[in-house]
Structure formats: C-alpha cells, structure tokens
Amino acid sequence: MEDSMDDVVTIGEMCETFQVTARTLRFYEQKELIWPIRQGSRRLYDRKARARLQLILRGKRFGFSLEDIRQLLDMYERDGSNQAQLKQTYAVAIDRLRQMEAQRAELDVAITELKQELAEGEAMIADFRAAE
Amino acid sequence: MEDSMDDVVTIGEMCETFQVTARTLRFYEQKELIWPIRQGSRRLYDRKARARLQLILRGKRFGFSLEDIRQLLDMYERDGSNQAQLKQTYAVAIDRLRQMEAQRAELDVAITELKQELAEGEAMIADFRAAE
DNA sequence: TTGCTCCTCACGTCACGTGAGGTGGC
DNA sequence: TTGCTCCTCACGTCACGTGAGGTGGC
C-alpha cells in the first residue's frame, strides 16, 4: 500500500530502457531536469522521473536546449492548465517547428549537392578504370 | 607582375563575403585549415585561402568534422588524382550521405510529431476560448 | 585626440565522454 | 577474494562566443 516505494528502477535499468548513458542521467540531474530518489548514494528512478526523462528526450528530438526543456517542464509541473502559459508554449513550439523545417530544407540541399559530388567522383573512378 | 601579392582581402572582407566571424577564421587557422599571409600581425587572404574556406564551409554543410575536413583537404593538396585516395574519399562520402539521409528521416518524424503536438495545443486553446 | 579595424590571450558555453579511484552487497 | 554495479570528482572534447586590453594608420 506504500505509494512511492514500489516500481523504482536503478540507473542501469534506466540506461537500458531509454538508451542513454549513466553520465547523461547524472548530467540531467545536475541540471535539475530529474530528481531520482536516493537510497544511500544509489539513485532510484520512480514513475515521475521516468515520465520526465521521456519528455526530455522528446524535447531533444525537437531540438530544444536542455535549459528550454527545463523551463517547459517546470512550467507544466506548476500549473498545466494556465492559458497564458499554454499560449506561450505554443508560440515557442511554432518557432521551433519553423527552424526544423528550415533545417530540413538545408539538409535536402546538402544531400542533393553531395549526391552530385558523388556522381562526379564515380565518373572519375570509371575513367581510372578505363585507362588501365 | 608580382604573383601572390595582388588580389588579397582582409579578415573583415572575408567575414562579409563568407558570412563567418573573425573568430571562426582565426579558429580555422589555429586548426591548420587555412594559412593566410601575414602583413605584420594582420592577416591577408589570397585566392588559395579563399578557395579552401569555400571547401571547408561546404564540408561543414555535409556534416563533416573540422578534423575530417582538414584531412580531406590535405589529401587533395598533395596529389589530387591518386586513385586509392579518390576511392577512399568516395567511401567516406557515401557513408556521410547515409548518415545525412538517416538524419533527415529522424527530422521528418520529429516534425510530424511536433505538428501533432501543436494540433493538440490548438484544440486546448480553442477549448479555453469556448469556455470564456 | 578620436574612430576604426585588427590583434592576442584566455575563460566561457553546450552536452556530454572518459578515466581515476573508491564503495557495497552478492 | 573476485565481480559487478554504482558512486564522486574532475579534466577533455568540439566549434566556436565573448570580453579584456592593446596596436596601427587614416
């Protein structure tokens, strides 16, 4: 019946399930992004810590900095349903989306460019072969 | 009639034309990627330096590290037409292309995901408005 | 003398990686 | 005693950013 005692995992298990290193988890803790329970010096991660890590990793995929993520998480930790904050978050996310789309456009250009270079390289290698 | 004396530009002009900072140019020099001419303590960039910077920036767009770029440039500085080296470079470039394509795929997933989040955020904001 | 461009240290930043050296319980 | 997992410093990495303090020529 005890509540936060059950269902905790070690740092090693966290690394396994989320595919991160222990260093990363300790670093996020130092940056105040997650607060595992301590059992002596050992860290134990409960449901809440795991949920936060999930959100952190999602934020990273969106290209947010850890500091951005910390602020977003803390905002929703306080009051998840404040209209002003929701709008603010929405605006920030829209901005990030634009950046990601710009990044994708640049990446597309670079990929096309590199393919062109590769085609030229292939031609040169073929010339070598023909000259043998 | 003097050869390497004409057609050099200052660091400020380099920054203008290539849209980089002076710190970046000095950093690349420290990493032995470019060797501008010295006139006292001032740096002057000739055609060769400018060509190398162009290639460096292109390499960066392809996602190569500065160390990778330095090696590629030095290879072609020595003998640009060695078949073994050309093949080696080709293999490295193919590898990079695969990484870039994987990166684009991840970016596409993230963009789709973020758009989904935004749609949910919009719905919540609309609910707020309806409740007023 | 004032402005402007350029210079050289050298510490700071971001997100961790990588040892070094030590602990605790099976 | 040996292994294994975990721990805490603390320096290293990558590609620069950012002052601080100084120089040279119009």
- Tens of pLDDT, residue by residue over A101-116, are 999 999 999 999 999 9
Considering only alpha carbons, which residue of chain A is nearest residue B84? A125
The predicted-structure confidence for A56-75, as pLDDT tens digits, reads as follows 999 999 999 999 999 999 98
Contacts of B128 in chain A (CB under 8 A): 83, 86
Which B residues, 74 through 113, put their C-beta within 8 Å of a C-beta on chain A? 83, 86-87, 89-90, 93-94, 96-97, 100-101, 103-104, 106-111, 113
The span from the CA of B107 to the CA of B101, in Å, is 10
Q: Is the pLDDT higher at A109 or at A81?
A: A109
The answer to whether A12 CB is within 7 Å of strand D is yes
Instruction: Evaluate whether B44 touches B8 at the Cβ level (below 8 Å).
Output: yes
More confident residue, A54 or A80: A54
Residue B80 is predicted with a pLDDT of 66
Alpha-carbon distance of B80 to B38, in angstroms, equals 27
Which residue type, as a one-letter code, is found at position B67? E
Helices (H) and strands (E) in chain A, counts: 5, 3
Q: Which nucleotides of C are covered by protein (CB under 7 A)?
A: 5-8, 10, 14-18, 24-25
Whether residues B104 and A100 touch (CB distance < 8 A) is answered with no
Residue A80 pLDDT? 66
Specify whether the CB–CB gap between A127 and A93 falls below 8 A.
no
The nt closest to B57 (CA vs C1′) is D15
List b or e across B57-96, with b for residues whose CB sees 16 or more CB atoms inside 10 angstroms. eebebbebeeeebbebbeeeeeeeeeeeebeebbeebeeb
| DSSP-H helix ranges across B33-65 | 47-61
Q: Round to a whole number and report the distance in Å from the CA of B30 to the C1' of C7.
A: 14
Of the pLDDT bands very low, low, confident and very high (cuts 50, 70, 90), residue A4 is very low
Calculate the angstrom distance between C1' of C12 and CA of B97.
34
Confidence (pTM):
0.91
Q: With a cut of 50, which residues of chain B have pLDDT below it?
A: 1-5
What distance lies between CA A58 and its chain's CA centroid? 5
- The burial class, CB within 10 Å (0-12 / 13-18 / 19+), for A25 is buried
**Pair of tokens at residue A120:** 């030229």
**Cα end-to-end span (Å), chain B:** 80
Q: Give B5 CA → C1 C1' in Å.
A: 34
- DSSP output for B61-125: HTT--HHHHHHHHHHHHH-TT-HHHHHHHHHHHHHHHHHHHHHHHHHHHHHHHHHHHHHHHHHHH
User: Mean pLDDT throughout A85-95?
Assistant: 93
**CB-side neighbour CA atoms (13 Å) of B90:** 17
Instruction: Enter the tokens of residue B83.
Output: 């078949």
Q: Is the CB of B31 under 7 A from strand C?
A: no
Alpha-carbon distance of B73 to B46, in angstroms, equals: 17
**Residues A25-63: pLDDT tens digits?**
999 999 999 999 999 999 999 999 999 999 999 999 999
Residue of B62, B114, B128 with shortest CB distance to A96:
B114
Average pLDDT over residues A118-123: 95
| A63 at B interface, C-beta within 8 A | yes
A15/A57 Cα distance (integer angstroms): 13
Count chain A–chain B contacts defined by CB atoms under 8 A.
Answer: 82
**Confidence category of residue A2, pLDDT binned at 50, 70, 90:** very low
Q: Give the nearest partner residue to B114 out of A89, A100, A124, using CB atoms.
A: A100
CA distance A76 to A104: 29
B62 in A contact zone (CB under 8 Å): yes
If we measure between CA atoms, which residue out of A29, A39, A54, A40 comes closest to residue A5? A39
A13: which nucleotide lies closest, measuring CA to C1'? Answer: D5
